[in-house]
Amino acid sequence: MKRSYYIYNNGNLKRKDNSIEFVDEEGSKRYIPIETVGEIYVMSDMDFNTNIINFLSQYGIVVHFFNYYSFYTGSFEPRKKLVSGNLLINQTQHYMDNSKRLSLAQKFIDGASYNIYRNLRYYNGRGKDVKSYMNKIEAFRKDIYKTQSIKELMGYEGNIRKTYYQAWNIMVDQEINFEKRVKQPPDNMINTLISYINTLVYTKTLGAIYNTQLNPTISYLHEPSERRFSLSLDISEIFKPLIADRLIFSLLNKRQITEKSFTKNLNYLHLKKEASKTIAAELEGKLQTTIKHKDLNKNVSYEYMLKLECYKIIKHLLGEKEYEPFKIWW
C-alpha cells in the first residue's frame, strides 16, 4: 500500500537503483522503495537533482514543499498521464458559462456548509451549547441557491464561516480566545493551526485530482488565477469540516497541540517540528478512517472519498450524472 512520506530533516534526496535515498546532514542514509511512495512532503531544506525528479515523474509521485514556518510554498507535479481533451473542453465550458459555473459553486458551498452544520450538531449533542450558531447557519444555507453571482455566494460562505468560527471557543476545551479567521499571515495559534491543516487537506485534494483527468487550474467557486491549483481549493472546501476541522478539535481537546506547540516570540506563527509531526501522523490516521459508503455498499477511506468526489464532478461535466456534493451521512 502506498503512503505519504514527510521529511523534516535537511539533506539530499537522490535515486538509488529502484529506491529513493535520503541522506541527512550527518551522512545517515535511509532508503524508501519507490513502490511504497504515494507522495512526499518536504518540510525542510532539501537538495535534488534531475535524476531523482525524472525518477519521481516516472512513477507519478507528487512532491509538496513547505518552508520554515510550515507555510506551503508549492508542489512538483509530474506531467499528467491521465488526460482527456473532451473533458478539458467541457470543464472549460462549465467555467465560461456563468449559469453552469454558479450551479457548481453553489453545490460546493451547499456541501461545505452542511458539513459545518453537522460538526456543530455533533458538539451540541455532547453538551456544548452552540444551538444559536446552528440556527444562524441554517438560515444562511436556505439562501445558497438563491444567489445570483459568485460574489454574492462568497458573501454567504463568509457569513457561514464567521458564525462557525465564533462557536469554536465553546467547542474547544482550551482557552483559545479565537475571534476571527486571519490568513496572511495568521495572527495566533488557532489561525496558524487552521492554515497549516487546511493546506495539508488542499495538497491531499490536489493529489486526488492529479490521479484523474481533471485539470486542477480550472475552478468554479474560486477564481482561476496564476500560480495556484484552484480546483483543489473548490473541492477541499467540502472536506475541510470533516477532515481538517475535526482533526483540529481532536488535537486541541486532547491537548496534543497547545500554546507550547508554537514559537511564542514569533506570535505563534511558527509550528514546532514535533507538533508538525504529530499533526501529520494524526492526519494520515484520519485519512485512513473507513466508513460504509451509502451508494457503493462497501467501506471506503476518507482519502478515497476525495477521489470519488473528483469522479462525480467528471460525470457532471460530461453530462452523465448531476453532481451532488459530499455530505456527512453518518
Closest CA to 4 of 79, 69, 62, 70: 62
Instruction: Give the tens place of pLDDT for each residue, 274-304.
Output: 999 999 999 999 999 999 998 898 999 999 9
Instruction: Give the tens place of pLDDT for each residue, 68-78.
Output: 888 899 999 99
At the top level of CATH, the class of 87-318 is mainly alpha
* CB contact at 8 A, 52 and 64: no
Is there a common fold for 3-76 and 87-318?
A: no
Q: Which triple of cell numbers denotes residue 167?
A: 462557536
220 CB-near residues (< 8 Å, 6+ apart): 94, 95, 101, 104, 105, 108, 231, 234
Q: For residue 113, count other CB atoms closer than 10 A to its CB.
A: 26
Rounded-to-10 torsion of CA 210, 215, 220, 222? 60
The segments of the chain whose pLDDT lies below 50 read none
Rounded-to-10 torsion of CA 42, 44, 47, 48? 0
H and E: helices and strands count for the chain: 11, 10
pTM over 0.85: yes
CA distances from 318 to 23, 108, 315, 323 (A): 46, 18, 5, 11
3-state secondary structure of 39: strand
Q: Would you say how long the chain is, in residues? A: 330
Q: How is the chain split into domains, by residue range?
A: 3-76, 87-318
Instruction: Give the tens place of pLDDT for each residue, 4-29.
Output: 999 999 999 999 999 999 999 999 99
The CATH T-level fold of domain 3-76 is Ribosomal Protein L15; Chain: K; domain 2 (3.100.10)
pLDDT cut 90: percent of the chain above it: 84
Grid cell 451508494 in the structure block, residue? 295
